[in-house]
Each structure stands twice: as structure tokens, then as C-alpha cells.
Amino acid sequence: MQYLNVDQLRRCMKTLDASLLLYQKAEGDSIEQEVFRNAIIKGYELAQETAFKLLKKALKAFGHGGKKLEATPVKDILRLAAVHDLLTLPEVERWFAYRDNRNNTAHDYGEQFAKETLTLIPAFLQDITTLADVLEQKLGKGAENNGA
């Protein structure tokens, strides 16, 4: 069995958290705050993409085919993750909201979009930390010692 390495996901989380803290410390309507806001949005996108890649790898360990997973919509990947206890149903619902918000980044980088995204970040950081922990516990290097 190939083990999942969640180090990159944890790095994305740390970067996103640090960007949020720096954003909050910057003066309102300053260039610095805008730079950190942009970093948050890009970090949010990168963390999601990294999480979805890891979920696909995890689902392969549960017998799902790689080619089929690549053609599977993200929301269906999230549903499959719940079937295999990688996410809870409330987490899946929140991930749907994160994904819907993420899809809007391709169309709207305006102030309202940024505000909506910023309100999601604290819960997103909690959910992505939980996901990393679950993936590491079930499919990480020490998983065979945890009954996985």
C-alpha cells in the first residue's frame, strides 16, 4: 500500500494561516492588506487543489480506479470521501461551500468576493486540518499501527 504524505497540505495550511494573520494586522485599505488578501485567495485555491489530489489518492486505496476518479466531479469525490469516513456529512456540506466559493475565483476577484472568501477561511483552516489528520491517521506512514 502506498502511504499518503500530507506534508504539502500542512504547508499550505500554515501559509494560509500566516497570510490571514498578516492581513488582519495590516492597515485597512492599504497595499499591504491587498497583497495579503490576494495571498489568502491563492493559498485557499492551492490548499483546496492539494486536498482534492490527496482525497483522490486516498480513494484509490479504497479500490476506486484512478482514471475514473480523474473524471469524477469534485463534489462526487467529497461524497465518496464521506462513504469511506474520510469526511463527515457536515464537513462535506462545508466543503461544497468552499468549492462553490473557489469556483467563483475564476470569475470574480472583486471586493465582495474577497470578503466572502475571508469569512470562510477560519472554518476552512479547521476543516483542512481535520482532513489532514484523518488522512494521516488512516493512510499515513503510521497507519498500519492504527488498525488501518
Mean per-residue pLDDT, 61-71: 91
Domains annotated on the chain, with CATH: 7-146 (1.20.120.330)
Mean per-residue pLDDT, 133-138: 94
Residue 95 · residue 87 · CB < 8 Å:
yes
pLDDT beyond 80 at 28: yes
Per-residue confidence band for 144, with pLDDT thresholds at 50, 70 and 90:
low
Task: Express each pLDDT in 77-135 by its tens digit.
Answer: 999 999 999 999 999 999 999 999 887 655 555 677 778 889 999 999 999 999 999 99
- Please report how the helices 89-104 and 31-61 are oriented relative to each other, as an axis angle in degrees rounded to 10: 130
Specify the pLDDT at position 10.
Answer: 97
Per-residue confidence band for 141, with pLDDT thresholds at 50, 70 and 90:
confident
Closest to 81 measured CA to CA, from 145, 148, 134: 134
Per-residue confidence band for 147, with pLDDT thresholds at 50, 70 and 90:
very low
Cβ atoms within 10 A of the Cβ of 19, count?
Answer: 21
Quick one: what percent of the chain has pLDDT higher than 70? 89
